[in-house]
């Protein structure tokens, strides 16, 4: 087991360096002049000033040198101060956020995490529950329903789904409004009496024992959570269903039934445990689906998370903000996949022997 984990960990630095190289390579698509615009708020009009900017950030130097400056920073030849350096947490200045990219990320991550946390409930409950139901009723109506849910889930574009949800449940019925909180409460949470422990309104309101705010926050979360997660329900549903079907065909299940165990005991004790192992492996794809989804979902529902920041940045070519987002998502995604791989190795002994 240790050898397996070490092997996985050894690949990690290669991937991380590769990811930063890839991000940096994307920047090279732009010429030095355009790239200088990424570092200063206004492109200087005089040629000399422009040259100074290019020299200051080393934008005319060879690729590998620039990559190094971008990664660890560079000592300014004139002032002697170190500038830039992704590893030093210098992600640059966000034009759309009008603040350093790091601050934008810090301020907006809680909203995105809040969405992701709430999305876990329907994903796990609907996805796994319906998947098991479908497999146990193979080719009967719960199975057909599951099939329809899965195909619809895969085929519905997130942005169309989100807008239709708003059309029906907000514009027509007025049940679930967009945004994060109603106006009266958004003032309330800025007051000193309201302590922001986590910056996630739905959780902070509980910690502050303000159930009125909690309910309002939930009301605003219903549509975004469904929009963000339905693709993952479909994903989980499909995997659970097929791996349950597979497990039901195994010899040990036949043996268990032949022993005279009730169907309930067979399913609970023998089938489900083994069937859920492959389900753990799609945790990675679920996180990917969520990260893709927040860009669209937060934009449609006007939520201040990192996804909507990335969408706004992409629209006005605020490359540094986008790269900050890319670094963050890639780092998170790599971490999740590592955890999943290790978990899989723990759950299924066959994997680590390979």
Partner 1 sequence: MSADVVSSPVQLDDEYLDEQGRIERLLGPEWARLLKGIVTNPLSVAGLIILAGFVLMAVFAPVLAPPINENWNTRIIPRDGFSAEPRPPGTPWEKNRPETIPFWYGITGHDDWVHLFGTTSGQYDIWYGVIWGSRTALFVGSLVVTSSAIIGILIGSTAGFYGGWVDEVLMRLVEIFIAFPFLVAALILASILVPIFGRSIWPASIALIAFGWTGYARLLRGDILSTKERDYVQAAQASGARDIHLILRHILPNAIYPTLVVLSLDMGAIVLSFAALSFLGIGVQEGYADWGQIVSFARSWILTLDKHWYIIVFPGIALLLYGMGWNLVGDALRDILDPKMRGR
Residues contributing to the site for partner 1 (CB under 8 A): 11, 14-15, 18-19, 21-22, 26-27, 29-30, 34, 151-152, 154-160, 163-164, 166-167, 170-172, 178, 246, 287-289, 291-292, 295-296, 299-300, 302, 310-311, 314-315, 317, 319, 322-323, 325-326, 329-330, 333-334
- Which residues are CB-neighbours of 60 under 8 A, at least 6 positions away? 32, 54
The answer to whether 101 and 88 have CB atoms below 8 angstroms apart is no
Sign of CA dihedral 28, 31, 36, 41: negative
Q: How far is the CB of 250 from partner 1 (least distance, A)?
A: 12
Tell me which DSSP letter residue 40 carries: S
The answer to whether 336 and 343 have CB atoms below 8 angstroms apart is no
The answer to whether 250 and 110 have CB atoms below 8 angstroms apart is no
Whose Cβ is closer to partner 1: residue 86's or residue 213's?
86
Q: How far is the CB of 182 from partner 1 (least distance, A)?
A: 15
Whose Cβ is closer to partner 1: residue 207's or residue 248's?
248
- Which residues are CB-neighbours of 326 under 8 A, at least 6 positions away? 23
Whose Cβ is closer to partner 1: residue 21's or residue 343's?
21
Whose Cβ is closer to partner 1: residue 167's or residue 265's?
167
What phi and psi, each to the nearest 5 degrees, are found at residue 99? -165, 170
Whose Cβ is closer to partner 1: residue 213's or residue 306's?
306
Burial per residue of 21-36, b for 16 or more beta-carbon CB atoms within 10 angstroms, e otherwise: eebbeebeeeebeebb
**Most distant CA pair in the chain, distance:** 88
Sign of CA dihedral 98, 101, 102, 107: positive
Q: How far is the CB of 143 from partner 1 (least distance, A)?
A: 13
Whose Cβ is closer to partner 1: residue 225's or residue 330's?
330
The answer to whether 84 and 75 have CB atoms below 8 angstroms apart is no
CA–CA distance, 74 with 84 (Å, rounded to integer): 7
Whose Cβ is closer to partner 1: residue 1's or residue 15's?
15
Q: How far is the CB of 293 from partner 1 (least distance, A)?
A: 8
The answer to whether 240 and 279 have CB atoms below 8 angstroms apart is yes
The answer to whether 344 and 280 have CB atoms below 8 angstroms apart is yes
Q: How far is the CB of 310 from partner 1 (least distance, A)?
A: 7
Q: How far is the CB of 181 from partner 1 (least distance, A)?
A: 17
Q: How far is the CB of 5 from partner 1 (least distance, A)?
A: 17
Write the CA distances from 207 to 170, 201, 225, integer angstroms. Answer: 28, 10, 21
Q: How far is the CB of 330 from partner 1 (least distance, A)?
A: 5
Whose Cβ is closer to partner 1: residue 6's or residue 14's?
14
């Amino acid at each position: 087991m240790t050898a397996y984990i070490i092997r996985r960990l050894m690949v990690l630095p290669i991937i991380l360096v590769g990811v930063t190289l890839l991000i940096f390579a994307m920047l090279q698509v732009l010429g030095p002049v355009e790239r200088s615009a990424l570092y200063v708020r206004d492109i200087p009009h005089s040629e000399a000033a422009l040259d100074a900017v290019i020299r200051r950030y080393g934008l005319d130097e060879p690729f590998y040198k620039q990559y190094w400056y971008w990664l660890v920073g560079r000592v300014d030849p004139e002032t002697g101060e170190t500038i830039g350096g992704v590893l030093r947490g210098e992600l640059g200045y966000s034009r759309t956020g009008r603040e350093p990219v790091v601050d934008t990320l810090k301020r907006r991550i809680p909203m995105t995490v809040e969405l992701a946390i709430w999305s876990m409930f329907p994903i796990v409950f609907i996805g796994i529950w319906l998947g098991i139901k479908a497999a146990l009723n193979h080719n009967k109506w719960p199975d057909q329903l599951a099939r329809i849910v899965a195909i619809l889930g895969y085929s519905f574009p997130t942005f169309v789904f989100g807008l239709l949800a708003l059309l029906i449940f907000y514009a027509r019925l007025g049940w679930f409004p967009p945004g994060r909180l109603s106006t009266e409460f958004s003032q309330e949470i800025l007051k000193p009496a309201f302590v922001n422990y986590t910056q996630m309104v739905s959780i902070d309101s509980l910690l502050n024992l303000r159930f009125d705010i909690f309910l309002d926050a939930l009301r605003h979360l219903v549509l975004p959570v469904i929009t963000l997660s339905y693709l993952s329900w479909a994903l989980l549903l499909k995997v659970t269903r097929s791996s349950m079907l597979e497990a039901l065909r195994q010899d040990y299940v036949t043996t268990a039934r032949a022993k005279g165990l009730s169907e309930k005991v067979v399913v609970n004790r023998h089938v489900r445990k083994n069937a859920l192992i492959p389900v753990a492996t799609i945790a990675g794809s679920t996180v990917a689906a969520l990260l893709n989804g927040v860009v669209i979902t937060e934009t449609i529902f006007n939520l201040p998370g990192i996804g909507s920041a990335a969408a706004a940045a992409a629209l006005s070519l605020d490359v540094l903000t986008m790269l900050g987002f890319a670094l963050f998502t890639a780092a998170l995604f790599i971490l999740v996949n590592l955890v999943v791989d290790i978990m899989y190795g723990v759950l299924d002994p066959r994997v680590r022997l390979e």
